[in-house]
Amino acid sequence: MSIFVNKDTKVLVQGITGNEGSFHTRQCISYGTRIVAGVTPGKGGQKMDDVPVFNTVAGAVKETGAGASLIFVPPPFGADAIMEAADAGVSLIVAITEGIPILDMVKVKNFLSTKKCRLIGPNCPGIITPEECKIGIMPGMIHKKGHVGVVSRSGTLTYEVVDQLTKNGMGQSTCIGIGGDPVNGTNFIDVLSAFEADPDTHGMVMVGEIGGSAEEDAAAYIKAHVTKPVVGFIAGLTAPPGRRMGHAGAIISGSSGTGEAKIKAFKENGIHVCENLGRIGQICKEVF
């Protein structure tokens, strides 16, 4: 088993005819993902390789029965694309787009609260259930089927963690990047609770970073509701306050959002803290 996606998930790609959209669509297809449709307004009726392209998400869903969407549209149109997918009845929306204005995301969050769907991202690498379904931009070959669930705010940092897990003989049930923006869809707690409920996930790795209080909230949740072992890592302990560290959400504001506070919360709530990224694979091996 796995969470949110598996080999039966039918996926459409919004922005499929763009550079990034077409490149990653091909990567996903070669990984085995069932990409059934693409959407680019004005290019309906065309094909991207063998994938039929539609003008609207509603049209694509009606024709193909897609239940998930992968979004590559440029940031000014990102919020609109997410809302279009939600309105068309797509139940899982994965938004890769980086740079969507925060006020747009606030409106999206409000809009989604009236719909039955899950948003992953934006500004994220996506979600992968190894050897079944990859909806995102992560390199597929580093993943291996197994029993560790991975959730992270980052992209390449997640690949590093997954690579070390695989090299240490630990496969993954599902890996999810929830994104580096301050306002996003699925949060740590949503993923942790799904991993807890998934019989095939035996342990979890949670990769956080400076900014906000999502890690602290998740740590409290873990203490109260998670019985499986959790290994935690926080990036940005050396980051200066008041500066945005690449991700829009990675900023220490005054005394809030520091790495120290997050590590303290991890330790106080029974999470196994990895303080040296180079050893995270080894630590997971010891804990799991």
Partner 1 sequence: MKIHEYQAKQLFAQYQVPVPDGRPAFTVAEAVAGAEALGGYPVVVKAQIHAGGRGKGGGVKLAHSPEEVETLATQMLGMTLVTHQTGPDGRIVKKLFIEAGQQIAKELYLSLLMDRATATVVIMASQDGGMDIEEVAAKTPERIIKVYVDPLMGIQGYQLRQVGFGLDLPKAAMKGFSSLLANLYQFFVASDCSLVEINPLILTADDQVMALDAKVDFDSNALFRHKDLLELRDLDEEDPMEVEASSYNLNYINLDGNVGNIVNGAGLAMATMDIIKNAGASPANFMDVGGGASAEQVENAFRIILADPKVKAVLINIFGGILRCDVFAKGVVEAAKKTGVTVPVVVRMEGTNVEEGRQILADSDLNLTSASDLADAAEKIAAAVN
* Catalytic center residues: 247
Q: What minimum distance in Å lies between the beta carbon of 277 and partner 1?
A: 5
Number of residues that bind partner 1 (CB under 8 A): 64
Q: Pick between residue 39 and residue 210 the one whose CB is nearest to partner 1.
A: 210
Nearest distance from C-beta of residue 211 to partner 1, angstroms: 8
Task: Render 185-222 in DSSP notation, one character per residue.
Answer: SS-HHHHHHHHHH-TT--EEEEEEESSSSHHHHHHHHH
**Contact call for residue 275 and partner 1 (CB under 8 A):** yes
Per the listing, tokens 């597929």 go with: 140
Taking contact as CB under 8 A, which single stretch among the options 6-14, 61-69, 197-205, 207-215 is the one that binds partner 1? 207-215
232 binds partner 1 (CB under 8 A): no
Q: Using CA atoms, how far apart are residues 166 and 143, in angstroms rounded to an integer?
A: 7
CB of 199 or CB of 254, closer to partner 1: 254
18 binds partner 1 (CB under 8 A): no
Query: Does 121 engage in binding with partner 1 (CB under 8 A)?
Result: no
Tokens 């990675």 correspond to 250
Facing residues of 134 across strands?
128
- Which amino acid appears at position 76 of this protein? P
Q: Under the criterion CB under 8 A, does residue 30 sit at the interface with partner 1?
A: no
Question: How far apart are the C-alpha atoms of 6 and 161, rounded to whole Å?
Answer: 22
155 near partner 1, rule: CB under 8 A = yes
DSSP state of 256: B
Helix (H) or strand (E) holding 85: helix 78-87
Q: How far is the CB of 97 from partner 1 (least distance, A)?
A: 10
- φ, ψ of residue 79 to 5 degrees: the values are -60, -45
Using the rule CB under 8 A, is 106 a contact of partner 1?
A: yes
Decide if residue 101 touches partner 1 (CB under 8 A): yes
* Three-class DSSP category at 74: coil
Candidate segments 31-39, 52-60, 61-69, 206-214, binder of partner 1 by CB under 8 A: 206-214
Q: How far apart (Å, rounded) are the C-alpha atoms in residues 31 and 37?
A: 16
Of 7-15, 127-135, 231-239, 265-273, the window that binds partner 1 (rule: CB under 8 A) is 231-239
